[in-house]
C-alpha cells in the first residue's frame, strides 16, 4: 500500500516536472528570433510529449500536453493561439500515440516527424477555417517541409533522452 | 505479411518517403514563389539606385536620364513600358508592357531597371497561423 502511494506520488511529481519543463521549452522557443514564415516552429515542447509517452504512458503524456497548452496560452497567448495550439497539439499527440508502439524508442524520429506533420496540418486547417480563405494553402509545402526537418531533429533529441533514461 | 510490416517499420522506407516529400515541397515552393504577382507601383532603378516610384494607376510619361543614356517610360492602364531608348539593342522596348513582378524591365546599356512592387498584393498571404 505504501509502495503504491509512493509510486503514485513519484508519477505525479514527474508529470508536474515535465509540464514545467515543457512550458520552459515553449518560453525559450518564443524568445528566439521569430522565423519570418508564419507557423514554422521548432517545436521544442514536443520533446517532452514524446519522452512522456514512453516513460509515463499515453494518458499522462496527454494530460501534460493539455496542461502545457493551457498554461502557455495564459502566459503568452490569446484565445486564438489556444485554438491553434490545441488543434495542432491534439492531432500530433493522436498520431504519435498511435505510432509510438509501432516504431518504438529506436525509431522515435519517424513518430516525431509524423507528429510534426499532423501538428502543422491541424494548424493550417484552423487557419483556413478562421480566416475563411483557402489561399493560405500556399503555406502547405513550407509547413510540410519544416515539419519533416524539425520533426527529425526533435525525434533525434528525444531518442537521445530516452536512451539515457533507460 | 511479415515483409510488408518490415518495410513499413524500416528506417529506409521512411527516410526515402520523407526525402521525396522534402524534394516535392522544395520544387513546389520554388515553382509558386516565382508565380507572377501584379502590383500597383513600379520602382525605377538607375545604376542600382532607386530613383523613382511611380503609381501604375495614373497614366504618365517621363524620361529617365543617366550618364549612359536616356529612356522614355510610359505608364498606361496599369502597365509600364519603355517606349524610347538610345540604347543599341532595344530589348527594353521589345519587352512591351509589364504589370507583374515576374521579369523586370532591364536596359543594361543605360543601367535602368523597372521592377513592379507586388508587396501590397502579396500581403494578403500574411495571415496568422
CATH number, domain of B118, equals 2.60.320.10
* B8 and B59 co-located in one domain: no
* B62 and B78 co-located in one domain: yes
pLDDT-based confidence at residue A61 (cuts at 50, 70, 90): very high
B31 touches chain A (CB under 8 A): no
CA dist., res. A104 & res. A108, Å (int):
6
pLDDT > 60? residue B61: yes
Q: How many distinct structural domains can be found in chain B?
A: 2
Instruction: Provide ipTM, 2 decimals.
Output: 0.77
Identify which has the larger pLDDT, B71 or B125. B71
- For residue B71, is it within any domain? yes
Q: Indicate yes or no: CB of B128 within 8 angstroms of CB of A80.
A: yes
- For residue B64, is it within any domain? yes
- For residue B129, is it within any domain? no
pLDDT-based confidence at residue A2 (cuts at 50, 70, 90): low
Instruction: Give the pLDDT of residue B128.
Output: 45
* B26 and B48 co-located in one domain: no
* B29 and B54 co-located in one domain: no
CA dist., res. B41 & res. A142, Å (int):
28
Q: How far is A138 from chain B (nearest CA, A)?
A: 8
Which residue in B123, B33, B127 sits closest to A134, CA to CA? B127
Instruction: Give the pLDDT of residue A39.
Output: 66
* B72 and B28 co-located in one domain: no
For chain B, give the mean pLDDT: 81
Q: Indicate yes or no: CB of A145 within 8 angstroms of CB of B22.
A: yes
- For residue B72, is it within any domain? yes
Domains present along chain A, CATH in parentheses: 2-165 (1.10.1760.20)
A141 touches chain B (CB under 8 A): yes
Nearest residue of A to residue B35, measured between CA atoms: A138
pLDDT > 90? residue A151: yes
- For residue B95, is it within any domain? yes
CB-nearest partner of A135 from B9, B22, B125: B125
Instruction: Give the pLDDT of residue B121.
Output: 45
Instruction: Give the pLDDT of residue A37.
Output: 63
B129 touches chain A (CB under 8 A): yes
Instruction: Give the pLDDT of residue B3.
Output: 60
* B49 and B103 co-located in one domain: yes
* B64 and B84 co-located in one domain: yes
* B19 and B74 co-located in one domain: no
| Full residue range of the structural domain in which residue B18 is found | 2-33
* B79 and B18 co-located in one domain: no
Rounded percentage of chain B residues whose pLDDT exceeds 90: 19
B18 touches chain A (CB under 8 A): yes
* B75 and B112 co-located in one domain: yes
CA dist., res. A16 & res. A27, Å (int):
17
Q: Are B53 and B24 in contact (CB under 8 A)?
A: no
CB-nearest partner of A38 from B9, B21, B129: B129
- For residue B24, is it within any domain? yes
In chain B, residues with a C-beta closer than 8 Å to the C-beta of A80 are: 128
* B105 and B86 co-located in one domain: yes
Find where cell 524520429 sits: A109
- For residue B46, is it within any domain? yes
| E strand residue ranges, B1-129 | 41-46, 49-55, 60-65, 70-76, 79-85, 105-107, 112-117
Q: What are phi and psi of B59, to 5 degrees?
A: -65, 140
Nearest residue of B to residue A83, measured between CA atoms: B129
pLDDT digits (tens, 9 = 90+) for A10-58: 999 999 999 999 999 988 888 877 666 666 888 899 999 999 999 999 9
* B57 and B10 co-located in one domain: no
CB-nearest partner of B129 from A39, A141, A148: A39
Full-prediction pTM beyond 0.90?
no
Amino acid at each position: 500500500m505504501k509502495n503504491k502511494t509512493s509510486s503514485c506520488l513519484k508519477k505525479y511529481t514527474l508529470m508536474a516536472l515535465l509540464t514545467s519543463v515543457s512550458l520552459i521549452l515553449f518560453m525559450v522557443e518564443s524568445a528566439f528570433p521569430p522565423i519570418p514564415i508564419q507557423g514554422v516552429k521548432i517545436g521544442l515542447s514536443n520533446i517532452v510529449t514524446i519522452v512522456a509517452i514512453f516513460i509515463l504512458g499515453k494518458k499522462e503524456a496527454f494530460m501534460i500536453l493539455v496542461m502545457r497548452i493551457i498554461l502557455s496560452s495564459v502566459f503568452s497567448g490569446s484565445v486564438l493561439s489556444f485554438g491553434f495550439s490545441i488543434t495542432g497539439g491534439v492531432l500530433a499527440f493522436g498520431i504519435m500515440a498511435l505510432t509510438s508502439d509501432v516504431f518504438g524508442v529506436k525509431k522515435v524520429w519517424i513518430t516525431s516527424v509524423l507528429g510534426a506533420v499532423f501538428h502543422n496540418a491541424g494548424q493550417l486547417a484552423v487557419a483556413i477555417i478562421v480566416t475563411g480563405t483557402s489561399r493560405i494553402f500556399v503555406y502547405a509545402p513550407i509547413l510540410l517541409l519544416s515539419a519533416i526537418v524539425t520533426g527529425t531533429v526533435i525525434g533525434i533529441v528525444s531518442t537521445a533522452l530516452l536512451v539515457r533514461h533507460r | 505479411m511479415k515483409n510488408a510490416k518490415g518495410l513499413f517499420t524500416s528506417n529506409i522506407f521512411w527516410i526515402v518517403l520523407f526525402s521525396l516529400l522534402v524534394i516535392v515541397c522544395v520544387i513546389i515552393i520554388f515553382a509558386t514563389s516565382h508565380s507572377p504577382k501584379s502590383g500597383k507601383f513600379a520602382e525605377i532603378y538607375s545604376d542600382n539606385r532607386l530613383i523613382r516610384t511611380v503609381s501604375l494607376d495614373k497614366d504618365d510619361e517621363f524620361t529617365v536620364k543617366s550618364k549612359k543614356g536616356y529612356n522614355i517610360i510610359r505608364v498606361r492602364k496599369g502597365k509600364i513600358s519603355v517606349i524610347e531608348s538610345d540604347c543599341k539593342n532595344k530589348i527594353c522596348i521589345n519587352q512591351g508592357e509589364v504589370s507583374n513582378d515576374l521579369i523586370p524591365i532591364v536596359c543594361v546599356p543605360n543601367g535602368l531597371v523597372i521592377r513592379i512592387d507586388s508587396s501590397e498584393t502579396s500581403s494578403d498571404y500574411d495571415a496568422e497561423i
